[in-house]
């Protein structure tokens, strides 16, 4: 063999050898990721005025335990480090810093609430750590141009409220309207969407508009005042504790307007049962998830999968609590992002994959509701349907709204 042919042979051999090097050389990790682990941060209100939502964090932990028992994602176990912020934004900041700077998580996932997420919004983006699939529908989470490290999950509060207003104007064009809302970004986002949906004529029909603070012990006085306006339509923008109070108090004082309840408080277990199932009759909400109390889903494969998960991995939880369905769905979304990320577990790639989802459905999403994102679309779920409480379950009605 000539020297030149020998050199060519060696070169070909080297190239072939490099191509055969295991994927180890191609793996990319940021803090919180390794060959064996994906460390994720969570912040939930396990205590405080919004503690009903603590069920989400507990169900997420259970879901990740199930995933880990099956081998994890791409051979890596998920380590979910979740802290309690009591729905206190100052505490959220403290917990976020701890997760990023001490626990060195790869990203923070599904932090609950508009005020808590608002408190860490700039911090997470300055640190370039994903604030992924936040558990709030405020419109600010869909701003990839200014906040490329923050992404929403559920339909926006604005779009949901807009649908309620449209429905009200179509069915009761002369309604006298009362509104109760939480005095923060969450409440104001819903309020904005509702007023825009009402249009100029509808806005003139608002006869009462009152706020409450998340630290208030009750909202009884607000409801008595709103009843006194003579309103025959009511938009109830409250978190679970106050939603249950409102429904119960309205029954006590005999106020029976057309009642629209924001979807974040439509949980049968956390709101409707404590308020009284009969007291809640005829309330209208919106839905994008299958209601676990709705018998029409009982024989569906995804309901059976959800129930099996709950019974085996989270048996102490309430099967009537829609927060457990929410957690089940958003956890599926995250696992899909991690699966797509493969061995490139960098924060930049996590956001890249999260912004490149196209899932026709996930288990326990309503028919017609999909998950789709893009570089300029940071709201994965944008479709929803109206539902009305019949005294036993939520009954879906009308078309699926959204794109």
DSSP string covering 175-226:
--EEEEEESSHHHHHHHHHHHHHHHHHHHTTEEEEEEE-TT-S--HHHHHHH
Q: Which of 380, 253, 240, 250 is nearest to 321 (CA)?
A: 240
Asked if the model's pLDDT at residue 199 lies above 50, the reply is yes
What distance in Å separates the CA atoms of residue 211 and residue 364, rounded to the nearest whole number? 34
What distance in Å separates the CA atoms of residue 202 and residue 166, rounded to the nearest whole number? 10
What distance in Å separates the CA atoms of residue 355 and residue 375, rounded to the nearest whole number? 6
Question: For 175, phi and psi rounded to 5 degrees?
Answer: -60, 145
Higher pLDDT, 362 or 402: 362
What distance in Å separates the CA atoms of residue 42 and residue 21, rounded to the nearest whole number? 36
Question: For 29, phi and psi rounded to 5 degrees?
Answer: -130, 140
Q: Which of 210, 193, 202 is nearest to 168 (CA)?
A: 202
Q: Which two tokens stand for residue 4?
A: 């030149």
DSSP string, 11-28: HHHHHHHHHTS-GGGG-E
Q: Are 373 and 357 in contact (CB under 8 A)?
A: yes
Q: Which CB contacts under 8 angstroms, 24+ apart, belong to 400-403? A: 400/366, 400/368, 400/369, 401/159, 401/163, 401/286, 402/155, 402/159
3-class secondary-structure state, position 47: coil
Tokens 């018998």 locate to 295
Residues above pLDDT 90, as percent of the chain: 93
The structural domains of the chain, with segments of one domain joined by +, span: 29-155+298-383, 157-287
Could you please state the CATH topology (level 3) that the domain comprising 157-287 is classified under.
Rossmann fold (3.40.50)
List pLDDT tens digits, range 212-247.
Answer: 999 999 999 999 999 999 999 999 999 999 999 999
Q: Which helix (H) or strand (E) is 389 found in, with range?
A: strand 384-389
List pLDDT tens digits, range 329-348.
Answer: 999 999 999 999 999 999 99
DSSP 156: P
CA 102 to chain centroid, in Å, comes to: 26
Asked if the model's pLDDT at residue 140 lies above 50, the reply is yes
Residues above pLDDT 70, as percent of the chain: 94
List pLDDT tens digits, range 248-292.
Answer: 999 999 999 999 999 999 999 999 999 999 999 999 999 999 999
Q: Which two tokens stand for residue 324?
A: 């457990």
Query: pLDDT band at 377, cuts 50/70/90?
Result: very high
**How confident is the model over 87-100, as a mean pLDDT?**
98
DSSP string, 338-394: HHHHTTEE-HHHHHHHHTT-EES--TTBPTT--EE-BTTB--S---EEEEEE-SSSE
Model pLDDT, residue 25: 52
pLDDT, the chain, mean? 94
Q: Which of 196, 199, 194, 191 is nearest to 173 (CA)?
A: 199
3-class secondary-structure state, position 98: helix
Model pLDDT, residue 147: 98
Model pLDDT, residue 337: 98
Q: Which of 144, 82, 3 is nearest to 327 (CA)?
A: 82
Tell me if domain 29-155+298-383 and domain 157-287 are identical in fold. Answer: yes
Asked if the model's pLDDT at residue 107 lies above 60, the reply is yes
CATH number given to 29-155+298-383? 3.40.50.2300
List pLDDT tens digits, range 18-66.
Answer: 444 444 458 999 999 999 999 999 999 999 999 999 999 999 999 999 9
- The half-sphere exposure of 208 on its side-chain side, counting CA atoms within 13 A, is 23
pTM of the model: 0.88
Q: Which two tokens stand for residue 323?
A: 């927060």
What distance in Å separates the CA atoms of residue 124 and residue 147, rounded to the nearest whole number? 9
What distance in Å separates the CA atoms of residue 292 and residue 30, rounded to the nearest whole number? 38
Question: For 238, phi and psi rounded to 5 degrees?
Answer: -140, 155
- Among 8-12, 310-314, 349-353, which is the least confidently predicted range? 8-12
Model pLDDT, residue 26: 87
Query: pLDDT band at 403, cuts 50/70/90?
Result: confident
Q: Which of 249, 241, 252 is nearest to 182 (CA)?
A: 241
């Amino acid at each position: 063999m000539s020297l030149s042919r020998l050199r060519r042979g060696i070169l070909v051999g080297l190239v072939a050898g490099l191509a055969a090097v295991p994927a180890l050389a191609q793996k990319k990790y940021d803090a919180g990721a390794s060959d064996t682990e994906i460390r994720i941060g969570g912040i939930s209100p396990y205590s405080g005025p919004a503690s009903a939502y603590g069920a989400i964090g507990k169900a997420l932990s259970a879901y990740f335990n199930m995933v880990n028992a099956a081998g994890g994602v791409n051979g890596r176990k998920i380590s979910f480090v979740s802290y309690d912020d009591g729905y206190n934004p100052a505490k959220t900041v403290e917990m976020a810093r701890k997760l990023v700077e001490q626990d060195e998580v790869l990203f923070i996932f599904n932090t609950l609430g508009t005020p808590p997420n608002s408190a860490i919004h700039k911090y997470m983006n300055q640190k370039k750590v994903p604030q992924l699939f936040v558990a709030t529908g405020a419109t600010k989470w869909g701003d990839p141009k200014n906040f490329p490290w923050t992404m929403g999950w559920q339909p926006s509060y604005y779009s949901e409220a807009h649908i309620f207003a449209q429905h009200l104007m179509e069915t009761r064009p002369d309604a006298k309207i009362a509104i109760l809302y939480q005095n923060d970004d969450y409440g104001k986002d819903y309020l904005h969407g509702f007023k825009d949906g009402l249009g100029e004529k509808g806005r003139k029909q608002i006869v009462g508009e009152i706020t409450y603070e998340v630290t208030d012990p009750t909202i009884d006085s607000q409801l008595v005042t709103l009843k006194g306006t003579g309103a025959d339509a009511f938009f109830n923008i409250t978190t679970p504790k106050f939603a249950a109070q409102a429904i119960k108090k309205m029954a006590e004082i005999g106020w029976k307007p057309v009642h629209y309840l924001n979807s974040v408080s439509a949980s049968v277990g956390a709101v409707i049962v404590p308020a009284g199932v009969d007291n809640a009759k005829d309330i209208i909400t919106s839905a994008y998830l299958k209601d676990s109390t709705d018998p029409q889903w009982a024989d569906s494969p995804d309901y059976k999968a959800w129930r099996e998960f709950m019974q085996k991995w989270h048996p102490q939880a309430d099967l009537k609590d829609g927060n457990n369905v929410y957690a089940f769905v958003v956890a599926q979304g995250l696992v899909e992002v991690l699966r797509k990320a493969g061995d490139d577990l960098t924060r930049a790639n996590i956001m890249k994959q999260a912004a490149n989802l196209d899932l026709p459905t996930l288990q326990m999403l309503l028919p017609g509701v999909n998950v789709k994102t893009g570089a300029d679309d940071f709201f994965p779920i944008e479709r929803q349907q109206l539902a009305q409480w019949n005294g036993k379950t939520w009954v879906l009605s009308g078309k699926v709204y959204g794109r």
